[in-house]
Amino acid sequence: MRKILRNDQWERIEPLLPGKAADPGATAKDNRLFLEAVLWVARTGSPWRDLPPQLGNWHNTYTRFSRWGKKGVWEKLVKAVSDDRDLEVLFIDSTIVRAHQHAAGAQKKMARRRSDARVEG
């Protein structure tokens, strides 16, 4: 599978990510693969479940993505690379991503039953 990140881009991003040996908790062995998976989902607009197996387990990837969001990792990363023209195009925010109407919790339209129409009229 073709990589999205070049080696020089990865080298710039790697120190900003959690899971380094000096960080508390478990050391991440696959941050690059994880980041490639997240970028693949963002680039293709595919659901997490369609993540190619070579990019990792979709559920584990989604869980880590969500955890990083709650910890502010994504915000910190975007701020850190926003001045780099090569990297700023890799990271996108919700202002430019279109979501399906139900992704935001839009109300479903309720079909009127024939009996309701007769009572009102």
More confident residue, 101 or 35: 35
- Alpha-carbon distance of 84 to 13, in angstroms, equals 11
92 φ, ψ to 5°? Answer: -120, 160
Q: How many CB atoms lie within 10 A of CB 87?
A: 19
Asked if residues 68 and 33 have their Cβ atoms less than 8 Å apart, the reply is no
User: What confidence tens digit (pLDDT) does each residue in 59-75 have?
Assistant: 999 999 999 999 998 88
Per-residue pLDDT, 79: 82
Give the tens place of pLDDT for each residue, 32-52: 999 999 999 988 889 999 999
Does this model's pTM top 0.75? no
Instruction: Please choose, from the candidates 30, 29, 34, 31, the residue with its C-alpha nearest in 3D space to the C-alpha of residue 48.
Output: 34
